[in-house]
Structure 1
Amino acid sequence: MPTSPSLTFLGAAGTVTGSRFLVESDASRVLVDAGLYQGPSALRRRNWAPSGLPVDDLDAVVVSHAHLDHCGYLPRLVREGYRGPILCTPETAELVAIVLRDSAHLQEEDARLANDAGFSKHRPALPLYDLADVESSLRLLSPVEHGQEVEVGADARAVLHPAGHILGSSTVELEVGGARVVLSGDLGRDRHPLLRPPDPPPSAGTIVVESTYGDRRHPDDAGDAMGSAIRRTVARGGSVLIPAFAVDRTELVLLELHRLVRDGRAPRVPVFVDSPMALATLEVYRAAIARGSGQLRPEARELAEAVEDLQVRGVRDAEGSMRLNNPGSPCIIVSASGMATGGRVIHHLAHQLPDRRNCVVLTGYQAVGTRGRQLLDGARQVKIHGRYVPVRAEIVDDPSFSVHADADELVAWVGSAATPPQAVYVVHGEATAAQALADRITDDLDVPAVVPRLGEHVLLG
């Protein structure tokens, strides 16, 4: 007897990262997103566990966008034997190549440092995957445009719709075995400085929606948190370190720095972008602006002006990065990663946090267990490469840079479907945020909304 199409929550259930959702029928199996877990060690250890996925039977993987917690597990999946297509937009394919190569490099470098310094529990420390695994994954990428219907199984089709989160980001519409489900991926904001707002969800029996900011509302007024922090720091002879996601966030930070300097709200000091991945991503954005991508607002052209006006100095080599650990005079350093979980920003934090003249500006969501969250919560010391570093520098939170929809916007997005769904599943959020959003959807829209458990299996209507 045939069974009903179903959905299994293999990641991002009760936590913000590790997005993985298996949609299947008797005839088709499709995985939506293959993301890494980030944050506390208990979550990161899940990256090392066998996926439990039927990789030999998967018809396709669909990737919503290029952030690591949505695409970073792809090389591990390929190492386990997956050889099918990986669907995403052309822009996501460009960015995934940048993100995964950087991820493999960082993991190989972290393993080397751990072995040299002896601070790993494992002998020897190994990377989760290497560059060879990444290149094998990239050969499977199958770019499709927004709005293009693609067969992804014997009885399955997929359509990607603009999500307005980062360049190339998508919500995923899947029809499998006659049932339709829409997965939000990460939803952008109506007021993203560069991207157009997300499309409303297509009519579907089931909607899976993220909840990163499911219990919060973004402030109407961005204020002057970054500008005032720069003014204070430069006046006392310090430098400003801005941990920023290499994809999209660096672009928004540069745009805001340009406006602050142009309007006289921040002094003109050298601006460094110390992240090869961020610099490569910046070129992808500039190319999209040059060709007039329909995902971008007309005012996105200001980004090119910002880079020129600030005379942004890109740092690609390790030696140049090390010189910025002690810059010697006031400057602004934008470096990945945005939650201070890895990358060059870790070395800058180790050198600059002990100095009271300096300032660290946090520019987005900081997941529980990350160094960024520890700094946000007022930690007096943080552990970096096996040693505790005192936190004496000023820590400033600027929430205006978030490109995640807030609670009001998430409820409005679900409510904008032409036909109300039969069920909504709330994922990709901390437990309190996810439950708060589920309660609001149930109360405001009169639609059953549930926070699923990790591994939970539900039928699709």
Structure 2
Amino acid sequence: MKTQQVKIHFLGAAGTVTGSKFLLETGAGNILIDCGMFQGLKELRLLNWKPFPFPPKEIDLIVLTHGHLDHTGFLPRLSREGYKGKITGTAPTLAIAKVILQDSAQIQEEEAKQANEDDTGTHHPSLPLYTVRDAEATIKNFQPVEPGQWHIFNESIKYRFQTNGHIIGSSFIELEIFGKIFLFSGDVGRENDTLLEPPKKPEWADYLFLESTYGNRLHPPEETDSILIKTIQEILEKKGNLIIPSFAVERMQTLMVRLWKLYKAGKIPPIPVFVDSPMGNNVLAVFQNFSSWHKLSLQEFIEMQKHFRIITSYKDTWNTIDDPRSKVVIAGSGMVTGGRILTYLRYLIEDDKNIIMLAGFQAEGTRGRQLLEGAHEIKIFGKFCAVKAKILHIQNLSAHADQGELLEWISQLKNIPEQVFLIHGEETARDALRVKIKDLYKWKVQLPALNEVVTIQLTTSEQEN
């Protein structure tokens, strides 16, 4: 028998929902699971600028659960700091990551330029976290892999992606290291998603790393379509607008499909619906290119897009704001942190005829969270705007499993995990899930802290090495 050591570095999404990064340091190789950017609170965003706590050149492989910014957005910075290896994920995941990284890099450059022009930056000169060139160099290292198949890294390590229904291409990851299964849930999706098939359920995990975004909540049994119908009727009566801040990936496409189906069924009138998100437009192309990964046929997806007015220029954003008709506007970003939605809210949030519909999780430190908690004003482009529009929160469109769905997702495990680590959740959420798992399953549950390193000793036979 031989003892092998695995060190787990919790470099992000530990006590928070952003910045997912989990490094497995082993004698057979060092593997990074996800490489996300910190978002939300300033104290978290500043972490993006700190030197990476592990030498990037000593990382041998990066595997991605899905393409969201908080799981991929730090990749170009890591590449700039020295990582030159392979970055793997499913084909749709890498297609989404490409769109997101190109957009993020452009924003980084634009914000740095603006800060220098306005002399508002903390540093002189202000620099981007990374550039478009950095993003393009990173994307060259993308290598897609098929889900459901074991991929051999070396004689001691292999890995497999299994679809988990969060966004197109998303997966949970099983790593077999020295004969033990380290399972990373990624973000687990919903059982009855509008666009995606239900998440596959894992069957074995010696060490389970489980997301806990909604670990303390159950999604309400609300009827999303009924809320959309009622809200559209209300803005038509008020002669107002429905403004929906939306994530560009999955949420925007889900809203489009739901509104299209309601219109086809005669449940809402032919109200103009504008979709304003350059990134969202690029994501539509990903959905079209990977039609086997979602429930709509290619023909249905093409027909659906024709129902919407897709905005491609900033000039058309202003034309839409000036359009006096009642309308629906879906614009990025989902937590109101940036993007085209800010331009709409700057001019429409102070009118009580309008309705703002928040459609998903709102992290700490975001304008979306402020609106959700009843802020009477929010700051947009340096100006405080009074919140006079009605604020709605529609929770059942979330792409994250709630507490009950997470407990159901792990219910098919045939073994008792040696250790469960709750990640990707705020403290109250993951502690509530910890209590539930301990009460229901009697498993050992740990709440790792940011930058904590946990060492696991594995006893293996000589033949396994």
**TM-score, with normalisation over the residues of structure 2?**
0.93
Q: Which moved more, 1:10-19 or 1:264-273?
A: 264-273
Single out whichever of 177-186 and 369-378 deviates more from structure 2: 177-186
Structure 1 pair 48/256, CA: closer, same or farther in 2 (3 Å)? same
Paired position in structure 2 for 1:319? 315
The Cα shift of 1:3 comes to: 4.7
Partner residue of 2:61? 60
Indicate if the aligned counterparts of 1:60 and 1:153 stay in contact, CA closer than 8 A. no
Instruction: State the match for 2:71 in structure 1.
Output: 70
Deviates more, 1:257-266 or 1:8-17: 257-266
The 1:192/1:360 distance shift into structure 2, 3 A limit, reads same
Report the CA distance between 1:53 and its aligned residue.
2.1
Deviations 1:424-460 (A, max 9, x none): 1111011100111111111101111121111122234
Counterpart position of 1:238: 240
Q: Give the alignment of 1:12-31 within 5 angstroms.
A: 12-31=13-32
CA contact (8 A) 1:13 1:429 kept: yes
Q: In structure 1, what is the equivalent of residue 385 of structure 2?
A: 389
Q: Answer yes or no: is the 8 Å Cα contact 1:244–1:338 preserved in 2.
A: yes
Q: CA RMSD in A?
A: 1.9
Which residue type is aligned with residue 359 of structure 1? Answer: I
Match of 2:348 in 1: 352
Matches within 5 A, 1:71-90: 71-90=72-91
Corresponding residue to 1:271 among 270, 273, 283: 273
Identify the residue that residue 401 of structure 2 maps to in structure 1: 405
* 1:113 partner SS: helix
Q: Hey, what does 1:423 align to over in structure 2?
A: 419
The residue type paired with residue 423 of structure 1 is: Q
1:306 aligns with 2:304: yes
Q: What runs of 5+ residues in structure 2 fail to find an aligned partner?
A: 459-465
**Aligned-partner residue type, residue 39 of structure 2:** Q
In structure 1, how many angstroms separate the alpha carbons of the residues matched to 2:391 and 2:300?
29
Cα gap change, 1:438/1:232 in structure 2, threshold over 3 Å: closer, same or farther? same
Conserved 8 A contact 2:359-2:395: yes
Match of 1:296 in 2: 294
Distance (Å, rounded) in 2 between the aligned partners of 1:362 and 1:84: 39
Question: 1 CA distance for matches of 2:398 and 2:392?
Answer: 15
**Partner SS for 1:242:** strand
Cα distance in 1 between the residues matched to 2:343 and 2:113: 15
Task: Report how far residue 420 of structure 1 moved.
Answer: 2.3
1:227 Cα shift?
2.3
Paired with 1:109 and 1:414, the residues of 2 have a C-alpha distance of 43
Where structure 1 has 5 or more consecutive residues not aligned to the other structure, the ranges are none
Cα deviation code 1:400-435 (max 9, x no counterpart): 211111101111112211222111111101110011
Q: CA deviation at 1:153?
A: 5.0
Listed as ranges, the matches of 1:128-139 within 5 Å are 128-139=129-140
* Whole-Å separation in 2 of the counterparts to 1:22 and 1:408: 28
Shift of 1:301: 6.7
What SS does the corresponding residue of 1:417 show, helix, strand or coil? coil
Task: Identify which range, 319-328 or 329-338, moves more after superposition.
Answer: 319-328
1:197 aligns with 2:193: no
- Show the counterpart of 1:253: 255
Q: Which residue of 2 aligns with 1:212?
A: 213
For residue 327 of structure 1, report the CA deviation from its aligned partner: 2.9
In structure 2, what is the Cα distance between the partners aligned to 1:332 and 1:429?
A: 32
Matched, 1:339 2:335: yes
Question: Is residue 97–residue 138 contact of structure 1 (8 Å, CA) maintained in 2?
Answer: yes
Residue 8 (structure 1) aligns with: 9
Q: Which amino acid aligns with 2:403?
A: A
CA contact (8 A) 2:64 2:87 kept: yes
C-alpha displacement of 1:344: 1.3
Aligned residues: 455
Q: Structure 1 stretch 27-36 or stretch 2-11: which is displaced more? A: 2-11
Is 1:156–2:161 an aligned residue pair? no
Provide the C-alpha distance between the structure 2 equivalents of 1:230 and 1:83, rounded to a whole number of angstroms: 50
Partner of 2:359: 363
Match for residue 461 of structure 2?
A: none
Percent identity between the aligned chains? 39
